[in-house]
C-alpha cells in the first residue's frame, strides 16, 4: 500500500516549488526553463492531460488481451474486462502482468511469442526509436487483425528528454501529417488528432505544470502548435514477421 506520509510529502514539495519559483516573471528574461523535467517536478505535465483525455475516450478498446509498452499504468487506469496484460520493454506495476523487459518493436522475431493483442498502448514511445518505420510495422504485427487496435501518442512541440537521450536516444518530433503518413502505410484505418495551442506549447517548453496554466486553455486546440499527437490504428495491412 502507498505510504500516505510519502504521498503528502511528494505533493507538498511540488506545491512549494510552484509557489516559490513564481511563474509571474518575464519569460524572455530567463536563460533557463522553470523545469527541465516537463514540469513533473512542479505538478502534472501539460501533455499528460491530452494523453489521458485520448485514452479515456477509447476506454472500450482497452479490454481483453492488452499490451502496453514501458509499464502497465494506463492499462489498469483505463482498461476494463482485462483477460491478459503484457508489458513490453519495461517493468510491470501489477503482479498480474507478464513482463518482457527486453522486447524490441523493430525486431519482429521478438514479437512472435507475444501473440496478437486486442489493444496495444504506446504512449510517447516512437519518439525514442530511430527506425520508426519498423517500429510502426511492429505495432501492426502485434494487433489482432479483425478487431484489434493500437492506441498511441507521439510528442510534438516539447523539450528533449535528456534521460532518454543519454540512455537510448531521443530522435523525433512529429506532426499529425507525419503520423498519419507512417501509420497509413501499415494500417487500413487510422484516426489522428493533434492537441495544443501557442500558450500551452510555450508553457510546456518552459517546464510549467498543468496547475500553473489557466484551465480554459485545455479546451482550445490550434493545429499550428501541436504538443501531442494521438493515433488510433486498426486493421493492419502487413502482419508478417
* Residue 110 belongs to some domain of the structure: yes
Share of residues in the chain with pLDDT > 90 (%):
77
Which whole-number Å values give the CA distances from 240 to 108, 118, 152, 161, 165, in the listed order?
A: 9, 17, 21, 33, 31
Which whole-number Å values give the CA distances from 8 to 3, 11, 12, 209, in the listed order?
A: 9, 5, 6, 18
Q: What is the DSSP string of 167-222?
A: HT-------HHHHHHHHHTTEEEEEEEEE--HHHHHHHHTT-BGGGS-GGGGG---
* Residue 199 belongs to some domain of the structure: yes
* Residue 241 belongs to some domain of the structure: no
Give pLDDT tens digits for 139-196.
999 999 999 999 999 999 999 999 999 999 999 999 999 999 999 999 999 999 999 9
The verdict on pTM exceeding 0.75 is yes
Alpha carbon distance 161, 180 (integer Å): 23
| Nearest C-alpha neighbor of 227 from the set 165, 191, 174, 189 | 174
Number of structural domains the chain divides into? 1
CB 102 within 8 A of CB 130: no
Give pLDDT tens digits for 31-47.
899 999 999 999 999 99
Give pLDDT tens digits for 83-113.
999 999 888 777 788 998 888 999 988 898 8
Residue 159: the pLDDT is 95
CA 147 vs. chain centroid, Å, equals 22
What range does the domain containing 138 cover? 4-236
| Nearest C-alpha neighbor of 96 from the set 72, 60, 77, 70 | 72
CB 103 within 8 A of CB 153: no
Residue 35: the pLDDT is 92
The domain that holds 167 is classified in CATH as 3.40.50.150
**Measured on CA atoms in the order 37, 228, 50, 164, is the torsion positive or negative?**
negative
Q: Give the CB-side neighbour count of residue 21, counting CA atoms within 13 A.
A: 21
Amino acid at each position: 500500500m502507498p505510504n500516505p506520509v510519502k504521498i503528502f510529502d511528494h505533493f507538498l514539495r511540488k506545491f512549494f516549488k510552484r509557489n516559490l519559483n513564481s511563474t509571474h516573471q518575464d519569460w524572455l528574461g530567463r536563460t533557463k526553463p522553470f523545469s527541465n523535467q516537463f514540469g513533473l517536478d512542479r505538478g502534472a505535465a501539460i501533455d499528460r492531460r491530452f494523453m489521458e483525455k485520448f485514452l479515456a475516450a477509447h476506454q472500450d478498446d482497452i479490454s481483453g488481451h492488452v499490451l502496453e509498452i514501458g509499464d502497465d499504468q494506463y492499462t489498469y487506469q483505463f482498461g476494463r474486462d482485462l483477460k491478459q496484460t503484457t508489458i513490453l520493454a519495461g517493468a510491470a506495476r501489477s503482479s498480474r502482468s507478464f513482463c518482457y523487459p527486453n522486447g524490441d518493436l523493430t525486431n519482429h522475431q521478438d514479437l512472435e511469442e507475444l501473440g496478437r493483442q486486442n489493444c496495444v498502448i504506446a504512449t510517447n514511445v516512437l519518439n525514442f526509436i530511430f527506425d520508426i518505420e519498423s517500429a510502426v510495422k511492429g505495432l501492426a504485427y502485434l494487433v489482432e487483425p479483425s478487431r484489434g487496435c493500437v492506441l498511441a501518442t507521439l510528442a510534438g512541440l516539447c523539450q528533449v528528454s535528456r534521460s532518454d537521450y543519454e540512455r537510448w536516444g531521443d530522435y523525433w518530433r512529429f506532426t499529425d501529417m507525419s503520423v498519419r503518413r507512417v501509420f497509413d502505410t501499415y494500417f487500413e484505418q487510422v484516426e489522428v488528432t493533434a492537441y495544443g495551442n501557442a500558450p500551452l506549447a510555450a508553457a510546456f517548453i518552459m517546464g510549467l505544470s498543468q496547475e500553473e496554466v489557466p484551465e480554459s486553455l485545455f479546451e482550445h486546440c490550434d493545429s499550428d502548435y501541436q504538443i501531442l499527437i494521438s493515433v488510433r490504428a486498426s486493421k493492419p495491412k502487413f502482419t508478417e514477421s
